[in-house]
Amino acid sequence: MKLLQTQKTDEILSYLRLNERVNLNIIGKIENNSELPIYTDNPKAPLGVLVKAGYMHFLYTESDAFIEAVLSQHMSEGFFGFAGLDQKLAAKIKETQIVMWSNPCTIYAYLKDQVEDLTGEYDLRPIAYEDAETVDKYYEYRGAHSIHEIRNDIKDRPSSAVYINNEPVCWVLVHEDNSMGIMYTKEEHRRKGLAEVVSKDLTRRIIEKGQTPYLQIVDGNSKSHGLAKKCGFEEVGACEWFGIIRGEPKEIQEMALQAVKAFKDVYGIELFEKNTSIKAAYFAMFWHKGNAKSLYTVRQLSLEESADAFMTLLNQPLIKEVKEEMDMWVVEKSGKLVGAALMQTPEDDESDYIIQAISLKEGVDVSELGTALIEGFKNKGKYFIYGVVDEKSEEILMQMNFATGSTFNL
Q: Where are the domains of the chain?
A: 4-106+241-245, 124-211, 248-409
Q: What's the rounded Cα separation, in Å, for the pair 68 and 259?
A: 33
* Residue 18: pLDDT over 80: yes
Distance of CA 316 to the CA centre of its chain: 34
Average pLDDT, the chain: 81
| Predicted local confidence at residue 291, as pLDDT | 40
Q: Which of these CATH numbers, 3.10.20.600, 2.40.50.140, 3.20.20.70, 3.40.630.30, describes 248-409?
A: 3.40.630.30
| Predicted local confidence at residue 407, as pLDDT | 47
The model's pLDDT over 204-225, given as tens digits with 9 standing for 90+, comes to: 999 999 999 999 998 888 889 9
* Residue 228: pLDDT over 90: yes
| Predicted local confidence at residue 290, as pLDDT | 39
Q: What's the rounded Cα separation, in Å, for the pair 161 and 148?
A: 19
* Residue 107: pLDDT over 70: yes
DSSP label of 261: H
* Residue 70: pLDDT over 70: yes
Q: Which residues contact 136 (CB under 8 A, 6 or more apart)?
A: 142, 146, 147, 150
Question: Which helix H or strand E contains 169, and what residues bound it?
Answer: strand 167-174
What's the mean pLDDT in 312-316? 58
The model's pLDDT over 154-173, given as tens digits with 9 standing for 90+, comes to: 999 999 999 999 999 999 99
* Residue 131: pLDDT over 90: yes
Q: Which residue has the higher pLDDT, 33 or 292?
A: 33
What's the mean pLDDT in 93-115? 89
Percentage of the chain with pLDDT > 90? 50
Assess if CATH 3.40.630 describes domain 4-106+241-245. yes
| Predicted local confidence at residue 286, as pLDDT | 42
Decide: 53 and 32 in contact? Cβ < 8 Å: no
Per-residue pLDDT band at 65 (split at 50, 70, 90): very high
Helix (H, G, I), strand (E, B) or coil at 121: coil
Q: What's the rounded Cα separation, in Å, for the pair 47 and 59?
A: 11
Q: What's the rounded Cα separation, in Å, for the pair 207 and 112?
A: 9
Q: Which superfamily, per CATH, for 124-211?
A: Gcn5-related N-acetyltransferase (GNAT) (3.40.630.30)
* Residue 7: pLDDT over 80: yes
What's the mean pLDDT in 128-146? 91
| Predicted local confidence at residue 180, as pLDDT | 97
pTM: 0.72
- The mean-pLDDT minimum among 134-138, 221-225, 372-376, 398-402 falls in 398-402
| Predicted local confidence at residue 115, as pLDDT | 85
- The mean-pLDDT minimum among 27-36, 101-110, 238-247, 273-282 falls in 273-282
- Whole-Å CA distances, 403 to 80, 95, 253, 298: 16, 13, 14, 20
